[in-house]
Amino acid sequence: MSESAFDIEDYLEQHRNKELLRFVTCGSVDDGKSSLIGRILYDTQQVLDDQLEALGRDSRKFGTTGDVPDLALLVDGLQAEREQGITIDVAYRYFTTERRKFIIADCPGHEQYTRNMVTGASTADLALVLVDASSGLQQQTRRHTYLVHLMGIRQLVVAVNKMDLVDYQQHTFDKIEQAYRRFANQLGVEGLTCIPVCALNGANVSRAAEEMPWYEGSTIVECLEQADIDELRSSHQPFRFPIQYVNRSSNDFRGYSGTLASGQVRRGDAVTALPSGKTSSIREIVSYDGSLEQAHAAQSITLRLEDEIDLSRGDWLVHANELPRVAMAFDARMVWMSERPMLPGRQYDLKLTSIDAPVTPEFIHHRVDVNTLEHHPAEQLALNEIGYCRLRSSRELTFDAFDRLPHSGSFILIDRVDNSTVGAGMIVRPVSSDHDDRPEHVTWHEMGISKRARAQQKAQRPTVLWFTGLSGAGKSTVANALEQALFKRGHHSYLLDGDNVRLGLNRDLGFSDDDRVENIRRIGEVSKLMADAGLVVLSAFISPFRADRAMVRELMEDGEFIEIHIDAPLEICEQRDPKGLYAKARAGVINNFTGIDSPYEPPLDPDVVIDTEKLSIDECVDELLVYLKQRGVLIG
């Protein structure tokens, strides 16, 4: 091997062994985040000659810095970003110095794109927060600072940029630093460094600024090189292995595949499966390169156990002496990312490691004012708002507190209708009877007569018949006719009609999305009480949202909720228009009318479908009676 080849191999080996630091840039719009990153890339000689040539052409077309190359264009690659002069999406860039390697996440400053900033901060070890010296702290500066702290980032570097616009005056920098430190102290931030910079000419970016002789601290690059990575990352993490799928590559092979989320595992280790609690030991650790004696965090592996245990996607393998929490409910800090607000009582899909489960926000403890950090009561979370909420699942979930293990303590919420990501959450604590915030003196009173006894007396099984469909489809008509038929046969029932309920119990509710959710929640609770009385409950409501109907189903015992879709095309419903509502909605007299300017989500898998366009009322009733006898609702 030649000497030059040896030198190259030695250099590449040294490069591979360099430490890697991931950091995120954040702050308000136009504070100069992209310009600062472009300056860092330029000063550390990461820009190739052809990129510099292209930068010159782009600067003449899109630049905002006059005759000087606009270094922000090295990062803002989207056409819309260049045309508007803002960052829209998260841009990742790589650079290296003699000491370590870096991955930068350049995040947008606009409030509209706060969700993108959360994405960039989710994998960062350090946050570089920019402040425009001529503008001072902005609301988005505080919001981003709160978010990076919320995401577990404990070391912040604050770059007070555009010092040239304030003539490099020390008192301006001191004033901004003092204001920022006051805010950071309220959050409990300890690792904080403030640096006056000018990204345009590179002052205090990679070179000491002659323009600011009063500053004697580190430059931005020096600060990034000197950051203590071991302090930023916990030295010991417990073993967490979320199972992604069961690997059956042959008849005699059963393994559990996934990415080791944290800690390490060795062949022969005793492990516990969660949430079942069953125990076994590691028989083999299989990787792409063959069998291993041990594996560590971030490796993709397949684990074989000594015992046959029923495991599936979403289950965890852990060490018995370092158990996570298992609970059906938890409190979490939520960052809301959707224009449709988060509403307690509405159901969402949760994704946490390999776990997929429906969850329902029960209530919001408080909303956080990012300017003052004060807590305010809230009944919903709007776009970009941050709140402390309680969520509940229909089954047990396995997780850690985010402060302990971010990977297994963070989650996202998915809208069940359009499959969009609507929220990001950080788990604070599980909720058990010890953590339940309901008043201690409010408990369920056990009756002397059971639900079963009441139902046997009436020769029927307690059931909620939930009629859903568009206005004019025939819900109330069919439900009313069915109740008359039940009455003639000696059964005990009660019909809850949408209009009747809104004249009394729900007269305080309107027809906005959140009022519709609360309307159905109350009806669900009333239906549950009536079912406890042993009745057959007929509930005739449009109930346009699938999540709300699913919420009511979960209130009932298994088999007690029967979803009946009264189906009729919109044009038929408009032709019938028994109350003249469609005509008023078309004329703009009525707002938020289902089917016109508010959506209806038809059931995906209803228990019964009744087509009132094809069947007469008597035929609808006969079909339902046959079904109820087959289901065992009607006895005798």
Q: Is residue 330 very low, low, confident or very high in pLDDT (cuts 50, 70, 90)?
A: very high
User: Does 87 or 469 have the greater pLDDT score?
Assistant: 469
pLDDT for 83 equals 45
Give 240-281 as a 3 state SS string: EEECCEEEEEECCEEEEEEECCECEEECCCEEEEECCCCEEE
Q: Is residue 74 very low, low, confident or very high in pLDDT (cuts 50, 70, 90)?
A: low
Reported as a single tens digit per residue, the pLDDT across 353-369 is 889 999 999 888 888 88
Lowest-confidence region among 19-33, 170-184, 203-217, 315-329: 19-33
Q: Is residue 468 very low, low, confident or very high in pLDDT (cuts 50, 70, 90)?
A: very high
Instruction: Check whether 624 has a pLDDT greater than 90.
Output: yes
240-318 CATH: 2.40.30.10
Catalytic residues: 543
Instruction: Check whether 442 has a pLDDT greater than 80.
Output: no
Instruction: Check whether 306 has a pLDDT greater than 60.
Output: yes
pLDDT for 444 equals 58
Per DSSP, the chain holds a count of helices (H) and strands (E) of: 18, 28
Where do we find the tokens 């699942």?
393
pLDDT for 97 equals 85
Residue ranges, comma separated, of all CATH 3.40.50.300 domains in the chain are 3-232, 451-630
> Beta strands of 155-216 (E only): which ranges?
155-161, 191-196
The average pLDDT across 282-301 equals 91
- Note the Cα 364 to chain centre separation in Å: 15
Domain 451-630 adopts which CATH fold?
Answer: Rossmann fold (3.40.50)
Nearest-angstrom CA–CA distance, 31 and 145: 14
Strand, helix or coil for residue 42: helix
CA torsion, ordered 430, 433, 435, 436, to nearest 10 deg? 110
pTM, entire model: 0.60
Lowest-confidence region among 69-73, 340-344, 489-493: 69-73
Separation in Å, CA 87 to CA 27, 51, 75, 113, 329: 11, 19, 9, 9, 38
The average pLDDT across 365-394 equals 86
The average pLDDT across 11-25 equals 78
pLDDT for 85 equals 43
The β-bridge partners of 355 are 352
pLDDT for 147 equals 85
Instruction: Check whether 250 has a pLDDT greater than 90.
Output: no
Residue ranges, comma separated, of all CATH 2.40.30.10 domains in the chain are 240-318, 325-433
Second CATH level (architecture) for the domain 3-232: 3-Layer(aba) Sandwich (3.40)
- Do residues 523 and 501 touch, judged by C-beta distance below 8 A? yes
pLDDT for 564 equals 94
- Do residues 154 and 406 touch, judged by C-beta distance below 8 A? no
Q: Is residue 218 very low, low, confident or very high in pLDDT (cuts 50, 70, 90)?
A: very high
The average pLDDT across 120-136 equals 87
Considering the chain, what is the average pLDDT of its residues?
83
pLDDT for 87 equals 42
> Beta strands of 28-184 (E only): which ranges?
91-96, 100-106, 126-132, 155-161
Element (H, E) at 181: helix 170-187
Instruction: Check whether 48 has a pLDDT greater than 60.
Output: no
User: Does 165 or 1 have the greater pLDDT score?
Assistant: 165
Instruction: Check whether 402 has a pLDDT greater than 80.
Output: yes
Second CATH level (architecture) for the domain 325-433: Beta Barrel (2.40)
Nearest-angstrom CA–CA distance, 158 and 184: 11
The average pLDDT across 409-413 equals 91
Nearest-angstrom CA–CA distance, 356 and 345: 19
Nearest-angstrom CA–CA distance, 588 and 68: 55
Nearest-angstrom CA–CA distance, 116 and 439: 39
CA torsion, ordered 5, 11, 15, 16, to nearest 10 deg? 50
556: amino acid identity, one letter: M
Reported as a single tens digit per residue, the pLDDT across 506-528 is 888 777 666 777 788 889 889 99
- Do residues 462 and 450 touch, judged by C-beta distance below 8 A? no
- Do residues 355 and 242 touch, judged by C-beta distance below 8 A? yes
Separation in Å, CA 578 to CA 147, 151, 476: 52, 54, 11
pLDDT for 514 equals 62
- Do residues 309 and 272 touch, judged by C-beta distance below 8 A? no
Instruction: Check whether 377 has a pLDDT greater than 70.
Output: yes
Instruction: Check whether 308 has a pLDDT greater than 50.
Output: yes
Instruction: Check whether 405 has a pLDDT greater than 60.
Output: yes
Reported as a single tens digit per residue, the pLDDT across 135-173 is 999 888 888 888 888 888 888 999 999 999 999 999 999
Structure tokens at 582: 């469609």
pLDDT for 632 equals 86
Q: Is residue 258 very low, low, confident or very high in pLDDT (cuts 50, 70, 90)?
A: very high
Instruction: Check whether 18 has a pLDDT greater than 70.
Output: yes
Instruction: Check whether 440 has a pLDDT greater than 60.
Output: no
Nearest-angstrom CA–CA distance, 218 and 162: 17
